[in-house]
Amino acid sequence: MDLQKYGPWALVIGGSEGVGAAFARILAADGFKLVLVARKPGPLEELKAELEAGGAEVRIVSADLSKPDVLDQVRAVTDDVEVGLLVYNAGANNTRGLIIDLPREVPDSVIAINVHGQVDFSRHYGKLMAERGHGGIILTGSLGGYLGSPTLAAYCASKAFSRVYTEALWGEMEPLGVDVLHLNIGFTATPAMERLGMPIEYAEAPEVVAQEGLDNIANGPLHIVSTPGNVEQVRKVGGVLDDRGRLVKENAIPPREETGKAAQQQLSEAGQSG
């Protein structure tokens, strides 16, 4: 990982275990200084001690990512350093049920973490990166974001938001020198999945997921982790994967003053194809 382009500090949201911890270990080995954010202080302290024993400089923030003041809490330990890489890895779902039966706080929490959190953190740190002319942002998503699934309504919708938002952010940040990637993750062997009773012996290793994200950060806007079956599953439910960057650029909604011209061209092309 290019420390000059993406360093010296990396901020990993959801960075205490699983994929987040894998990101932290890889980045520490590459010489990055780290800020790790997660809810549970115990795993954060353990990972901090492990990384510091290997020579890394590490700061930690124990915070509830669903709360509106979480960015302020993280800024309290990052405003004096240069964060060149943001990895927003939080967003697992631990409660399934009919949306009409779930308590309001369940979908609110999912939306706060997967939607408001990704937007707030990428806006703040992305602006600083753009002012410097370099940096990178990885926002993790899920294969669940390609199709609505009963009992996972808010989760699937928020993951779809994450993917589309990242594509737009990629289009905005590319000319400013900042790499942006939506890392689409499938079934992964994380402690969160294990706590839900999932058979993680059949899942992808977190280290593979994290390494693929870092290896493909400059190949945005989208990378689907290469676990066998992931790409095929997305294609099955109608996901268009080929050359997403070109599709985003060529089909972006035009400025207002160009709307009439774009509509005329669309009608012309539709007539020719008919």
Active site residues: 155
Helical residues (DSSP H) of 54-146, grouped into ranges: 70-78, 105-111, 117-132
CA–chain centroid gap for 23, Å, is 12
Q: Which two tokens stand for residue 237?
A: 């439910």
- 150 DSSP assignment: T
| Number of other CB atoms surrounding residue 96 within 10 Å | 14
Q: Which two tokens stand for residue 261?
A: 């011209």
Q: Kindly provide the residue ranges of all beta strands, DSSP E only, lying in the chain, ordered along the sequence.
A: 9-13, 33-38, 58-62, 83-88, 135-142, 178-185, 222-224
Among 230, 228, 253, 227, smallest CA distance to 241 is for 230
Adjacent-strand bridge partners of 60: 36
Structure tokens at 272: 């020719």
- Which structure tokens are listed for 79? 């405003």
